[in-house]
Amino acid sequence: MKTIRLLSWNVNGIRAIHKKGFVQWVLRENPDILCLQESKAHPEQLPKELISINGYEAYFSSSKIKKGYSGVVVYSKQNPVEVKYGFGIPKFDDEGRTLILDYKDFILLNIYFPNGKMSEERLKYKMDFYEAFLEYADALVEQGRKLIICGDVNTAHNEIDLARPKENEKTSGFLPIERQWIDKFLSHGFIDTFRMFNNQPGNYTWWDMQTHARERNVGWRIDYFFISENFKSNLMNAFILPEVMGSDHCPVGIEILPDNSK
């Protein structure tokens, strides 16, 4: 039974990480599907080796608001039957935060969720984005579809998910309203895959670079793979790859069994 390996990584600039051996890392890791967030580039700005990594098709969703901002990418060995570039809501889709790939067995949503730290307006935008996403995801599940959702959610769910919860209670990314939304999301029948396999503290996916927080593992777990409840039996493993350098985030991943191999 061949499992499918999916990785997700906020690379904090695909052109920056390209200079740090990104293509070689992809070929070495050899995921079946690789989802990137915060690519900060349009395809026409990228060198050829990032557009066509050997063995992969590449799909890009880029910001229409400004260049060098936001953006998500999927590299896939398997061709999806359909690709969408948002929820159909321009104010969210125009920031290039969403790629939705239909693989028949499942639908993959690669999302770079907004950050709410900049202002009250951006926090409202983030919460509105959360609600629009949940409505979209719920509708797919109601149609009987199985979902895999990955990306930088920009919120740590519980105290175990960040090194200093008390100090960050009033910081966007750990506000009660943001954490309550994840509670709501999970109550709709979605599963935090990592916590199915690991309930230990100290597992983070983002560290502040300015304070050299990674060296002390003072981090946050804000990057996730979620699945819909109806896909639970397909999930074989979920993990974090904290040893992978090159960004202020590290990759996260899952291994699944396709329906036809069960």
Confirm if 65 and 39 have CB atoms less than 8 A apart: no
Reported as a single tens digit per residue, the pLDDT across 95-128 is 999 999 999 999 999 999 999 988 999 999 999 9
**Verdict on whether the full-model pTM lies above 0.95:** yes
Half-sphere exposure of 147 (CA within 13 A, CB side): 28
Assign 188 a pLDDT band (cuts: 50, 70, 90). Answer: very high
Q: Quick one: pLDDT at residue 174?
A: 98
- 152 included as an active-site residue: yes
Task: Kindly state the average pLDDT of the residues 241-259.
Answer: 97
Reported as a single tens digit per residue, the pLDDT across 9-24 is 999 999 999 999 999 9
Quote the CA–CA distance of 137 and 107 in Å, as a whole number.
10
Task: Kindly state the average pLDDT of the residues 151-165.
Answer: 98
Q: Given 32, 152, 192, 223, which residue is catalytic?
A: 152
Q: Quick one: pLDDT at residue 261?
A: 59
**Spans of all domains in the chain:** 4-256
Quote the CA–CA distance of 217 and 242 in Å, as a whole number.
10
In the predicted model, is pLDDT for residue 262 greater than 80?
no
In the predicted model, is pLDDT for residue 2 greater than 80?
yes
The CATH number given to 4-256 is: 3.60.10.10
Reported as a single tens digit per residue, the pLDDT across 69-85 is 999 999 999 999 999 99
Q: Quick one: pLDDT at residue 1?
A: 73
Q: Quick one: pLDDT at residue 185?
A: 98
Task: Kindly state the average pLDDT of the residues 196-221.
Answer: 97
